[in-house]
Amino acid sequence: AQKVTQAQTEISVVEKEDVTLDCVYETRDTTYYLFWYKQPPSGELVFLIRRNSFDEQNEISGRYSWNFQKSTSSFNFTITASQVVDSAVYFCALSGGAGGTSYGKLTFGQGTILTVHP
């Protein structure tokens, strides 16, 4: 069975602070994909990043960066110089299965509520 754990239920920071959201996953699959989604107060889910299990390179996109470490089964997300607009619920998700047998079914973590204060 697959499992995704986001141990931080809520994080509160002041604008311009850096913040890291933790994600730890469990899977027996050798091929899998990890995702981060953002859910702003309006409620929709917005895709942020996808990473496959064979690519452990870190990625940076503007103020966002992601650290994938297979050795610790972690896929952490850092926001640099946070802004009020970053306030949202952030979900880490996992899709696994060799040959695409997962059919894209996502296992989600519980989500981390990030509040950025001005």
Partner 1 sequence: NAGVTQTPKFRILKIGQSMTLQCTQDMNHNYMYWYRQDPGMGLKLIYYSVGAGITDKGEVPNGYNVSRSTTEDFPLRLELAAPSQTSVYFCASSYSGFYTEAFFGQGTRLTVV
Residue numbers of the site for partner 1 (CB under 8 A)?
Answer: 4, 6, 9, 33, 35, 37, 43-45, 47, 50, 52, 91, 93, 95, 97, 100, 102-106, 108-111
Q: Which residue's CB is nearer to partner 1, number 54 or number 118?
A: 54
Grouping H, G, I as helix, E, B as strand and the rest as coil, residue 58 is coil
Q: Which residue's CB is nearer to partner 1, number 82 or number 97?
A: 97
Residue 59 neighbours by CB under 8 Å, 6+ apart:
49, 51, 65, 66
What is the smallest separation between the CB atom of 78 and partner 1, expressed in angstroms? 20
What is the smallest separation between the CB atom of 109 and partner 1, expressed in angstroms? 5
Q: Which residue's CB is nearer to partner 1, number 24 or number 106?
A: 106
70 φ, ψ (degrees, to nearest 5): -65, -30
CA distance 22 to 39: 16
Can you read off the two tokens belonging to residue 62? 């503007």
